[in-house]
Structure 1
Amino acid sequence: MKEQVQVRTYLKNLPLVGLAAACALTAAGKVHAQSSVTLYGIIDEGVNYTSNVQTNPGNGHNLFNLSSGILSGSRWGLRGVEDIGGGLKAIYVLENGFDVNNGRMGQGSLEFGRQAYVGLSAKLGTVTLGRQYDPLVDYVHALMPSAMFSGSIGAHPADVDNLNNANRINNAIKYRTVALNGFSAEGLYSFGGVPGSVGANQIWSMGVGYSSGPLNVGAGYLNARNPNASFFGTAVGATAASNNFGSSPVINGYASAQTEQIIGAGATYAIGRATLGAVYSNTKFKSLSGAVSVLNPSGASGTATFNSAELDFQYQLTPALSLGAAYSYTKNSGAHDARYHQGALAADYAVSKRTDFYLIGVLQHASGTDSTGHAARASLNGLTPSSSDQQAAVRFAVRHKF
Structure 2
Amino acid sequence: MMKKLAVGVVACLGACGAYAQSSVTLYGRIASGLDVVTNVATPNGQSKPVFRFGSNQRGISWWGMTGKEDLGGGLHAVFKLESMFSAGTGQVATPNTLFDRFAYVGLEDDRYGSLWVGRAMSLTDETGWLLDPIGEVSTGIANFAKGRAWGSRTNTVTYNSPTWGGLSFRLQNGFGNVAGNFRSARQLSASAAYSLGNFNAYGVYEEIRDANGKFSGLFSASREYMAGATYQLNAVKLFGGYQALVSSGQDTVADSLNPTASTRSQQEWLGAQYQVDPALMLQAAWFHGNVNHGGGSGNLGVLGASYALSKRTVLYATFGAMFNGRNSNFPVETNDALPLPGHNQQGGFLGMMHYF
Q: Indicate whether the TM-score tops 0.5.
A: yes
Gaps of 5+ in 2: 1-14
Q: 1:193 aligns with which of 170, 177, 194?
A: 177
| Partner Cα distance (1:52, 1:69) in 2 | 20
Is 1:125 aligned to residue 108 of structure 2?
A: no
Contact 1:161–1:281 (8 Å) recurs in 2 = no
Residue aligned with 1:396, SS? strand
Bigger CA radius of gyration: 1
| Partner Cα distance (1:86, 1:379) in 2 | 52
Counterparts of residues 185-264 of structure 1 (less than 5 Å)? 185-226=169-210, 255=217, 259-264=221-226
**1:170–1:34 Cα change, 3 Å:** closer
**1:376–1:68 Cα change, 3 Å:** same
Which position in structure 1 is the counterpart of 2:160?
176
Counterparts of residues 97-108 of structure 1 (less than 5 Å)? 97-108=84-95
Q: 2:268 aligns with which of 286, 300, 309?
A: 309
Which position in structure 2 is the counterpart of 1:45?
32
Which position in structure 2 is the counterpart of 1:377?
329
Contact 1:182–1:210 (8 Å) recurs in 2 = yes
RMSD over aligned CA atoms reads 2.8
Q: 1:343 aligns with which of 289, 295, 301?
A: 301
| Partner Cα distance (1:109, 1:308) in 2 | 34
- Select the structure that is richer in helix: 1
Which position in structure 2 is the counterpart of 1:71?
58
Counterparts of residues 91-170 of structure 1 (less than 5 Å)? 91-122=78-109, 123-147=111-135, 151-157=137-143, 159-160=145-146, 162-163=148-149, 166-170=150-154
- Percent identity between the two aligned chains: 29
Quote how far apart the aligned CAs of 1:228 are.
Answer: 10
Contact 1:350–1:356 (8 Å) recurs in 2 = yes
Quote how far apart the aligned CAs of 1:130 are.
Answer: 1.0
Is 1:327 aligned to residue 286 of structure 2?
A: yes
| Partner Cα distance (1:258, 1:316) in 2 | 36
**Corresponding residue pairs, total:** 338
Q: Read off the aligned partner of 1:343 and give its amino acid letter.
A: G
**1:48–1:88 Cα change, 3 Å:** same
Deviations 1:276-320, CA, capped at 9 Å, x for gaps: 11111111122454777779755x3xx611111000011111221
| Partner Cα distance (2:240, 2:103) in 1 | 31
Q: Read off the aligned partner of 1:399 and give its amino acid letter.
A: M
Is 1:279 aligned to residue 241 of structure 2?
A: yes
Which position in structure 2 is the counterpart of 1:401?
355
Residue aligned with 1:266, SS? strand
**1:230–1:61 Cα change, 3 Å:** farther
Contact 1:227–1:255 (8 Å) recurs in 2 = no
Contact 1:228–1:256 (8 Å) recurs in 2 = no
Contact 1:97–1:113 (8 Å) recurs in 2 = yes
| Partner Cα distance (1:182, 1:207) in 2 | 14
Q: Read off the aligned partner of 1:386 and give its amino acid letter.
A: P
| Partner Cα distance (1:177, 1:220) in 2 | 15
Gaps of 5+ in 1: 1-27, 232-253, 369-374
List, as ranges, runs of 4+ consecutive aligned residues in structure 1 with deviation greater than 4 Å.
31-34, 227-231, 256-259, 288-298
| Partner Cα distance (1:325, 1:38) in 2 | 35
TM-score by length of 2: 0.86
Deviations 1:20-74, CA, capped at 9 Å, x for gaps: xxxxxxxx9xx99971111111111110011011221421211111121322321
For structure 1, which segment, 59-68 or 137-146, has the greater mean C-alpha deviation from structure 2 after superposition?
A: 137-146
Q: 2:346 aligns with which of 368, 384, 392?
A: 392
Quote how far apart the aligned CAs of 1:387 are.
Answer: 2.6
Contact 1:224–1:259 (8 Å) recurs in 2 = yes
Quote how far apart the aligned CAs of 1:138 are.
Answer: 3.1
Q: Read off the aligned partner of 1:280 and give its amino acid letter.
A: Y
| Partner Cα distance (2:37, 2:255) in 1 | 31
Deviations 1:143-164, CA, capped at 9 Å, x for gaps: 212426xx2222332544634x
Which position in structure 2 is the counterpart of 1:365?
323
Contact 1:156–1:328 (8 Å) recurs in 2 = no
Quote how far apart the aligned CAs of 1:222 are.
Answer: 0.4
TM-score by length of 1: 0.77
**1:128–1:340 Cα change, 3 Å:** same
| Partner Cα distance (1:131, 1:119) in 2 | 11
